[in-house]
Structure 1
Amino acid sequence: MAPLIKILIILTSHATVSGTEQPTGVWLEEFTTPYYAFVDSGALVDVASIDGGKVPVDPNSLKQEGKNPASVERFLKDSAAREKIANSTKLDGLKPEGYAAVFIPGGHGTMWDLPRSDALAKLLSQSWREGKVVAAVCHGPAGLLNAVDETGKPLLAGRRVAAFSNAEEVAAGMDKRVPFALETRIRELGARYESGPNFKPFALRDGRLVTGQNPSSSARVAELVLEALSKNTER
């Protein structure tokens, strides 16, 4: 019998665009599509967040029932999955032992709390050193900015990385509201930033690092995570 694969999903706890009352949080499909891809592959998925407890969901990512992406509709009927984001595990003190991969969905909330989290940077850096798959989509790569590889260099330096582009941020009307431009910061770390057309699926796998550009990329990111896990288990 193949060993049970465990995947840790880490979500934002930041609920408003700073300085305003505009709600934000996780972009729901960026969680639900990979979550079900992982679960349906036979993996056990745990959910953590920066502060623990109830994870804020960007209301713009949730429409009335029947008008959402299939994974979101499935989530709305899945009490066990809803419980995972209603009572997420607090990240601080969480260890990467036992997990084969760590995945970070996006949503604009990630731009505030993920880069400030020393616990996240530590967990991701340790995960990379231990040979785990590290993945993120859309604004989720904001959580990778302070992670380092086994040599102490920025994890993203020299690696192929996709994330929400500056052009998409302008198109979304958020370029003046986010604390920094994610694409620019990734480039400044020495990453080989790549992107496709605005809001179209685009994802990359550079060894054990998997990243995707936008919400439309969540399914492809999940596929590449599972691909990277299969390569890991073949070694």
Structure 2
Amino acid sequence: MLEVAVERVKVEGLLLDYANIELEDLIRAAGVPRSTVFRIWPDRVAFVADLVRALFEADPGFDTGFDDETLRLLAAAATGDAEEMATPHGRQIAFRAAVRLAVAHNIATVANSVAWRAYRTMSAALASGDAVPGGEDIRALLSEIEHRYLDRMAEIYRELNQAFGLRMRDGVTERDLALAVVAVIDGMSDHRRIDPAAVDAARVVAMGPEGASEWHLAGLAVYGVYAAFTESLDA
């Protein structure tokens, strides 16, 4: 049932009223016993809750925080030029390169994620006050998913801070940073769906003494947030 529903959501998305997630229809498509289905899921809301979990758990970036390519870009920047990483100045250059490359890749990956699209559809409906089937249960589910993701992202930011010689400023934590960065990416991704050219157009900006480079707008925004939340260990 869940496999059939996941494939359907990949093609059609998840509609606000779950109109494309009818249990009887899925039972026929999956070829499973009706009695068993209704013993596991007494109603459609219960099934949708498990479906949303399945969408996230099938997303390779959910438990790792980032997709494999984003993680590779970050690791390459953190373990790159040993001479550069030996100085505060060099670590700052490497850090900017890591953010610039990783965010430019990651925002496209996020936008193409079925799990993210379902999450945004459901969270937007809840935020707007629209009636969503199983509203409070769905809110609790989305909160659970978000907390798991933010916890993992906080771990990644601790590792990045250590690699690039950074620490959190007094009064904020890695989890605060994770929440702020997620908000930036979510907002940019929403605008990107409306006007991708405006968001994706490269900005040539000099962010440090290394000179001008092409930045994705989301990369600039994430770098600004990261810089505001952290400081150099050498400060």
TM-score range, shorter chain: under 0.3
| TM-score normalised by the chain length of structure 2 | 0.26
What's the TM-score, normalizing by structure 1?
Answer: 0.26
The structure with the larger Rg is: 2
User: Which structure: greater helix fraction?
Assistant: 2
